[in-house]
Amino acid sequence: MNVDEAKKVLRRQRIETPSWAYGNSGTRFKVFAQPGVPRTPYEKIDDAAMVHELTGVAPSVALHIPWDRVDDFAALATYAKDRGVAVGAINPNVFQDDDYKLGSVCNPDPGVRRKAVEQLLECIEIAERTGSKQLSLWFADGTNYAGQDSIRDRQDRLAEALRTTYDAMPADMTMLLEYKFFEPAFYHTDVPDWGTSLTHCLALGERAKVLVDTGHHAPGTNIEMIVALLLRQERLGGFHFNSRYYADDDLMVGAADPFGLFRIMHEIVAADALEGDVAFMLDQCHNVEPKVPAMLRSVMNVQEATAKALLVEKDALRTAQREGDVLGAHGVLMDAYATDVRPLLASVREEMGLHPDPIAAYRESGYAERIVAERVGGEAMGWGA
């Protein structure tokens, strides 16, 4: 694609930020509180709106329920709209109640399963009230010891809960089913991989799709292969972007493995899926770095990987591939990856009426100082709160 066409596409790019990334977070060892952190879901929306204001490509924010519970969700959606952003995917949290010690929708106790399904159904209502079109499901379900529960029965329970939920969704809503190979369970996880997720999605219907969280695979997994396969099946629902060195580190996307992110975006661009139904969302925790600039950096990293993927010379690549020119084909890809796209993105931003450097614009805006001064009293929101 030539530079002008690439710039047009980049202007239209959409990346969703997660409400929970603006709150305090940490590891199981310690949560380090930061000053200026939101105390309400409304303040999280303010931060998300700031990220959109400076980048122009982050117009929606995902909610996590009950972390983002408010009395009036329609009012929250209006508040967001007034600040230029929309409510994105609704993520039900069915992993933090004591009842869920042995799982949620796969729990051996039918009463607990019913409670979990009720929470999922409530999130459909919340989605309807906020104008969200995506119900994004992740289950912490699994077991720690061989024989602890029946793997097969748990699959049946999962299928039943998903069916009830899917059937309750309005016709314009999509269900995203996220997988994760381990954690918090260590022996088996009920939705450990894309195959398990896809199997359930295929049984449910067209509006059930797989969500790929880039931190949820064993080290060395070829994630772009999974992306290509799911795109071929028209079942790639979206991403939770983040990066990792070891397990589910939830670091800024593109920080640990920018080349991996480029390879994923190359499959997206090659399949013409950048502007379709795939939801490009971030799922990160900023434990030691300031949160709003971390989100800016993350959005910019996705933009850079996308710009490089758009610059791949498609025809030259195809020709080299067809001719069996191994090094030629690889070279076409690497030429695009090696391009410094920062000037191109700076000019895209200027054309959009934005500061060419969102991080510098943030520094100049005084927003960081303002939220520290204003957000005093009350309780900072955090992971698990």
Assign residue 210 a region: left if phi > 0, alpha if psi is -120 to 50, beta otherwise?
Answer: beta
Contacts of ligand PSV in 63-92 (CB under 6 A): 91
Nearest-approach distance from CB 242 to Mn ion, in angstroms: 8
Contact status: 138 vs ligand PSV (CB under 6 A): yes
Out of ligand PSV, Mn ion, none, what residue 91 binds, judged by CB under 5 to 8 A for its kind, is ligand PSV
Cα distance between residue 255 and residue 158, in whole Å: 35
Cα distance between residue 92 and residue 186, in whole Å: 22
Among 46, 53, 68, 178, binds ligand PSV (CB under 6 A): 178
Closest CA to 279 of 90, 121, 43: 90
Contacts of Mn ion in 260-319 (CB under 5 A): 283
Per-residue binding string, Mn ion, 210-249, x by CB under 5 A, is ---x--------------------------x---------
Out of ligand PSV, Mn ion, none, what residue 267 binds, judged by CB under 5 to 8 A for its kind, is none
Nearest-approach distance from CB 68 to ligand PSV, in angstroms: 12
Q: Chain centroid to CA 365: how far?
A: 27
Nearest-approach distance from CB 343 to ligand PSV, in angstroms: 34
Among 217, 240, 244, 286, binds ligand PSV (CB under 6 A): 240
Contacts of Mn ion in 156-185 (CB under 5 A): none
Nearest-approach distance from CB 283 to ligand PSV, in angstroms: 5
Interacting residue ranges for ligand PSV, rule: CB under 6 A: 20, 91, 138, 178, 180, 213, 240, 248, 283
